[in-house]
């Protein structure tokens, strides 16, 4: 399903809904013991997220990848929301039953609840983690599952997925022998790693989508999940800056049926000058082709995301 962003007000409203969702999630994750009806609140945020995705999944991914790749401020909540959206899409790709999908997505929203403040701190910290911080990182799965249990979560699959989302399975263990919780934890672990790779820290810039994709595909034990993730978001997800083989640079607007040939808004000409307005190019129709994804930090020009998304949604409506 897609829709047309008819005005800048509609864009701002949609952006505001995502921002409000992230802000609310940040409050819940930061102060879980102060939240009345914790489980109901997480369920509410899950439904809210699904409604926003249903408007237009490509626009949702565009906004989320821009959010994830541009700023480490409020990293923990931003990361949780990105992981929840990606988990939702992966669950659809694997045709998970509703109950399993719910456990996976809610685990994604809450997997780091035992280290929310630490995660935000580390995103803004240039130094390596201290011994105390490393201990908290090592134990956060167990503490997170225990905390969720104290907050009234009874869903064992949700809790087990949180408890195991960084657990490495034995490399010679066949996929069919994994428990359901182990399979969901494996999915979440891949999503978690991919989302973390594209996000910036004070100590490093976020990696490009190309580099992040290669990283998750290099792991033989989780390659199947990695392939599924890349199939649903694309090798170059919406919101990703890309270099084209004619020297121009752009940002991906929409996925296509071909993972490596999305629709692109061309922003900079081959001299590096801003194009006004940007031009739209469907890579699936032919040249120019994408050479590689670019880290967001490489694209310094101011980008009018409202204009780009408006052009993209209008083009989509015409194509239909």
Question: Mean pLDDT across the stretch 277-295?
Answer: 89
Helix spans in 151-258 (H): 156-164, 180-198, 209-217, 223-233
In sequence order, the 6+-apart residues with CB closer than 8 A to the CB of 226 are 190, 194, 213, 216, 217, 219
pLDDT in tens, 171-222: 444 555 789 999 999 999 999 999 888 775 544 555 677 788 888 888 877 8
Question: Mean pLDDT across the stretch 154-174?
Answer: 80
User: Which domains are assigned to the chain?
Assistant: 8-233 (1.10.3210.10), 241-319 (no CATH)
Q: What is the model's pTM?
A: 0.89
Q: How far is CA 203 from CA 52, 106, 213, 241, in A?
A: 32, 29, 21, 21
Give dist(CA 121, CA 123) in Å, integer: 5
**Which SS3 state, helix, strand or coil, does residue 202 take?**
coil
Give dist(CA 62, CA 262) in Å, integer: 12
Q: Please give the residue that has the higher pLDDT: either 51 or 297.
A: 51
- Find out whether the peptide bond into 288 is cis, omega within 30 degrees of 0: yes
Q: Of 28-32, 128-132, 173-177, which range is least confident? A: 173-177
What is the b/e burial string over 127-141, where b = at least 16 CB atoms within 10 angstroms of the residue's CB?
A: eeeeeebeebbeebb
| Phi, psi values for residue 211, rounded to 5° | -65, -40
Place of tokens 């390596």: 128
pLDDT in tens, 301-312: 667 888 888 776
């Amino acid at each position: 399903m897609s829709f047309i962003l008819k005005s800048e007000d509609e864009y701002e409203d949609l952006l505001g809904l995502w921002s409000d969702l992230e802000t609310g999630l940040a409050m819940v994750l930061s102060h879980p013991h102060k939240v009345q009806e914790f489980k109901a609140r997480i369920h509410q945020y899950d439904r809210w997220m699904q409604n926003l995705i249903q408007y237009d999944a490509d626009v949702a991914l565009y906004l989320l990848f821009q959010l994830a790749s541009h700023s480490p401020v409020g990293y923990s909540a931003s990361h949780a929301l990105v992981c929840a959206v990606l988990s939702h899409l992966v669950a659809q790709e694997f045709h998970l039953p509703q109950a399993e999908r719910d456990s996976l997505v809610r685990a994604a929203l809450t997997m780091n609840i035992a280290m929310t403040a630490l995660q935000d701190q580390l995103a803004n910290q240039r130094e390596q983690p201290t011994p105390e911080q490393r201990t908290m990182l090592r134990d956060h799965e167990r503490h997170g599952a225990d905390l969720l249990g104290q907050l009234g979560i009874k869903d064992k699959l949700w809790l087990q997925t949180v408890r195991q989302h960084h657990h490495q399975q034995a490399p010679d263990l066949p996929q069919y022998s994994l428990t359901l919780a182990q399979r969901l934890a494996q999915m979440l672990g891949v999503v978690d790693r991919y989302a973390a790779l594209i996000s910036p820290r004070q100590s490093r810039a976020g990696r490009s989508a190309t580099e992040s994709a290669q990283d998750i595909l290099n792991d033989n034990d989780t390659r199947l999940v990695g392939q599924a993730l890349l199939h649903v978001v694309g090798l170059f997800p919406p919101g990703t800056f890309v270099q084209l083989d004619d020297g121009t640079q752009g940002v991906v607007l929409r996925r296509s049926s071909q993972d490596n040939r999305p629709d692109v808004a061309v922003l900079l000409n081959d001299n590096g000058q801003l194009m006004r307005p940007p031009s739209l190019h469907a890579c699936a129709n032919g040249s120019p082709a994408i050479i590689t994804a670019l880290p967001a930090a490489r694209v310094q020009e101011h980008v009018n995301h409202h204009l780009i998304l408006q052009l993209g949604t209008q083009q989509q409506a015409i194509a239909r």
